[in-house]
């Protein structure tokens, strides 16, 4: 007999802090026992007890094509058979970089790393190295990985656990980060007026999805571009989550490309590795040329550009064509409508927030009336309604993200059958939210 989720979780908690390798997986804010996943295919995950769920977590982003797409798995198997890691350059990593540059030409040079955290960390070091300045501006509720300087008022697990930041970040490092309210151009202007000559970079999620989804107000990102330019700072657009998910060329393809501007640096992750550890930092040639071995800004990685991981990323990008993105958009639109309908029927005031195919729901009269513009709005919402909503879905075999502060992820494999299962589960979930 295979063990139950509760049995594995109990053992895991005895040997791993919180029983998990990344905090939000522990179900801290929704309560209960997380299913331990035994396998996943298409739109479904199966736990160690043999229960199957329609998955709306998607590995938190990478599973764009659905889980274990046969062509991606085959590419990984073929690469693995040729060797797991060489610590030497390979053609696959160059092909992956070519694929990234084809979609986002403003990423003139690209360096591959293994996690989004490394990508944003490298972007900041580059920005500081290039400008010779020390301060970094970030926005409350934006998550850029667990980089010391970027954990202040970060979203995602930091928001889920209601932490102001993280213990263990030195005050010297924290003092170099200016945290501003999202979507507030005046706050950015003031920060530049006060500290302009010291600001190396503004880093922003291209469209934030780690405080729930909070789309940039029209013109906000373009204004960041203009202000950074005016003051000699770099704009770092973090597309770890949005890159190659919200469209063929990421969020930049929906906005910057159409408006004719680009950030100085991009960070990518998640989809770019197709489920294996690949992330990237890319951007202006003159800035990227500061990286070692060409320049004085050091960065490296034993497993960077790993041949098996880059094969997964390359296969994923090759398969993610216009049809895939159309399907994602249509699927997300249908689900948004279904969620709204169920909540409206149950009399739950809410706001359905979305950016491309990413979406999330926030509860409460305030957000229903005014929408969600920033982290304060999110924190002021009735997020306690999310746990019963989530558990009603889980009981019906639907795995939504286990936190009100995360986006829902659909995939190319979410078909009518999977969507119908979610839609059947929504009325009871909405009722549970109403009664919370
Ligand atoms: N930036 C953004 C926008 C993210 O969503 C994440 C991860 N959720 C990261 C950076 C960090 O990526 P990783 O977890 O791979 O370190």
Annotation marks residue 270 as catalytic? yes
What's the CA gap between 106 and 328, in Å, rounded? Answer: 25
Domain end (from 290, 319, 348):
319
Give 141 Cα–ligand 1 centroid separation in angstroms: 13
Domain end (from 293, 319, 345):
319
| 311 and 260 assigned to the same domain | yes
Residue 89: its H or E element: none
| 21 and 81 assigned to the same domain | no
**Residue 108 · residue 273 · CB < 8 Å:** no
| 286 and 165 assigned to the same domain | yes
Which of 238, 264, 374, 377 is flagged as catalytic?
A: 238
**Is 238 a pocket residue for ligand 1 (Cβ < 6 Å)?**
yes
Classify residue 163: in a domain, yes or no: yes
| 30 and 76 assigned to the same domain | no
| Distance, CA of 10 to chain centre | 29
For the chain, how big is the Rg over CA atoms in Å? 21
Classify residue 370: in a domain, yes or no: no
pLDDT of residue 295: 98
Give 272 Cα–ligand 1 centroid separation in angstroms: 12
Give 424 Cα–ligand 1 centroid separation in angstroms: 32
Q: Hey, CA dihedral for 425, 209, 28, 113, is it positive or negative?
A: positive
**Residue 245 · residue 325 · CB < 8 Å:** no
Q: Among 142, 204, 213, 240, which is best to mutate for testing ligand 1, by the most ligand atoms less than 8 A from CB?
A: 240
| 194 and 239 assigned to the same domain | yes
What's the CA gap between 333 and 309, in Å, rounded? Answer: 31
Q: What is the full per-residue pLDDT of the chain (436 aa) written as tens digits?
A: 789 999 999 999 999 999 999 999 999 999 999 999 999 999 999 999 999 999 999 999 999 999 999 999 999 999 999 999 999 999 999 999 999 999 999 999 999 999 999 999 999 999 999 999 999 999 999 999 999 999 988 877 777 776 667 888 888 888 899 999 999 999 999 999 999 999 999 999 999 999 999 999 999 999 999 999 999 999 999 999 999 999 999 999 999 999 999 999 999 999 999 999 999 999 999 999 999 999 999 999 999 999 999 999 999 999 999 999 999 999 999 999 999 999 999 999 999 999 999 999 999 999 999 999 999 999 999 999 999 999 999 999 999 999 999 999 999 999 999 999 999 999 999 999 999 9
| 27 and 91 assigned to the same domain | no
Classify residue 314: in a domain, yes or no: yes
CB atoms within 10 A of CB 21: 10
| 23 and 112 assigned to the same domain | no
Tell me: ipTM over 0.95: yes
**Is 117 a pocket residue for ligand 1 (Cβ < 6 Å)?**
yes
Give 112 Cα–ligand 1 centroid separation in angstroms: 15
Ligand 1 atom closest to Cα of residue 116: 12
Classify residue 77: in a domain, yes or no: yes
Residues with Cβ within 8 Å of 196's Cβ and at least 6 positions away in sequence, in order, are: 231, 232, 233
Ligand 1, atom 13, residue with closest C-alpha? 116
Annotation marks residue 138 as catalytic? no
pLDDT of residue 158: 74
pLDDT of residue 162: 66
Ligand 1 atom closest to Cα of residue 242: 3
What's the CA gap between 165 and 154, in Å, rounded? Answer: 7
Q: Among 60, 124, 145, which is best to mutate for testing ligand 1, by the most ligand atoms less than 8 A from CB?
A: 145
| 89 and 24 assigned to the same domain | no
**Is 139 a pocket residue for ligand 1 (Cβ < 6 Å)?**
no
| 30 and 163 assigned to the same domain | no
Classify residue 340: in a domain, yes or no: no
Domain end (from 319, 342, 371):
319
| 87 and 15 assigned to the same domain | no
Token pair 């979410």 in the structure block, residue: 414
**Is 241 a pocket residue for ligand 1 (Cβ < 6 Å)?**
yes
Annotation marks residue 395 as catalytic? no
Classify residue 222: in a domain, yes or no: yes
Classify residue 375: in a domain, yes or no: no
pLDDT of residue 324: 98
pLDDT of residue 153: 85
| 25 and 92 assigned to the same domain | no
Q: Could you give the number of structural domains in the chain?
A: 2
Range of the domain at 29: 9-39
Nearest CA-CA partner of 29 in 410, 287, 401: 401
Classify residue 399: in a domain, yes or no: no
Q: How does pLDDT run across 39-97, given as a tens digit for each residue?
A: 999 999 999 999 999 999 999 999 999 999 999 999 999 999 999 999 999 999 999 99
* CATH code for position 177: 3.40.640.10
| 15 and 128 assigned to the same domain | no
């Amino acid at each position: 007999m295979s063990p139950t989720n509760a049995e594995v979780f109990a053992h895991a908690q005895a040997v791993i802090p919180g029983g998990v390798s990344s905090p939000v997986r522990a179900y801290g804010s929704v309560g209960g026992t997380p299913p331990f996943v035994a396998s996943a295919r298409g739109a479904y995950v199966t736990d160690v007890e043999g229960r199957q769920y329609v998955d709306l977590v998607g590995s938190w982003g990478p599973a764009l094509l659905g889980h274990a797409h046969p062509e991606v798995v085959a590419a990984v198997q073929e690469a693995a058979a040729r060797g797991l890691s060489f610590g030497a350059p390979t053609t696959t990593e160059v092909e992956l970089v070519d694929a990234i540059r084809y979609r986002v030409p403003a990423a003139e040079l690209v360096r591959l790393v293994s996690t989004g955290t490394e990508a944003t960390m490298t972007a900041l070091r580059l920005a500081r190295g290039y400008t010779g300045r020390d301060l970094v501006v970030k926005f409350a509720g934006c998550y850029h990985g667990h980089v010391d300087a970027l954990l202040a008022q970060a979203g995602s697990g930091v928001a889920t656990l209601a932490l102001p930041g993280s213990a263990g970040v030195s005050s010297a490092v924290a003092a170099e980060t200016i945290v501003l309210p999202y979507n507030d151009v005046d706050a950015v202007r003031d920060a530049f007026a006060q500290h302009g000559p010291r600001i190396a970079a503004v880093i922003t999620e291209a469209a934030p999805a780690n405080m729930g989804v909070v789309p940039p107000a029209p013109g906000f990102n373009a204004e960041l571009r203009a202000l950074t330019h005016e003051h000699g700072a770099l704009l770092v657009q973090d597309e770890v989550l949005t890159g190659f998910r919200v469209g063929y060329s990421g969020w930049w393809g929906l906005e910057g490309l159409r408006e004719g501007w680009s950030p100085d640096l991009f960070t990518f992750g998640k989809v770019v590795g197709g489920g294996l550890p690949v992330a990237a930092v890319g951007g202006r040639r003159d800035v990227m040329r500061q990286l070692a071995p060409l320049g004085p800004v050091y960065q490296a990685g034993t497993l960077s550009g790993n041949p098996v991981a880059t094969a997964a990323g390359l296969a994923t990008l090759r398969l993610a064509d216009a049809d895939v993105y159309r399907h994602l958009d249509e699927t997300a639109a249908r689900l948004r409508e279904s969620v709204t309908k169920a909540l409206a029927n149950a009399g739950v005031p809410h706001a359905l927030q979305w950016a491309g195919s990413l979406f999330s729901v926030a509860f409460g009269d305030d957000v229903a009336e005014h929408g969600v513009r920033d982290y304060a709005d999110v924190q002021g919402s009735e997020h306690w309604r999310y746990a019963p909503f989530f558990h009603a879905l889980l009981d019906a075999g639907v795995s939504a993200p286990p936190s009100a502060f995360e986006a829902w992820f659909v995939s190319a494999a979410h078909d009518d059958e999977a969507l119908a299962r979610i839609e059947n589960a929504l009325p009871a979930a909405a009722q549970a939210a109403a009664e919370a």
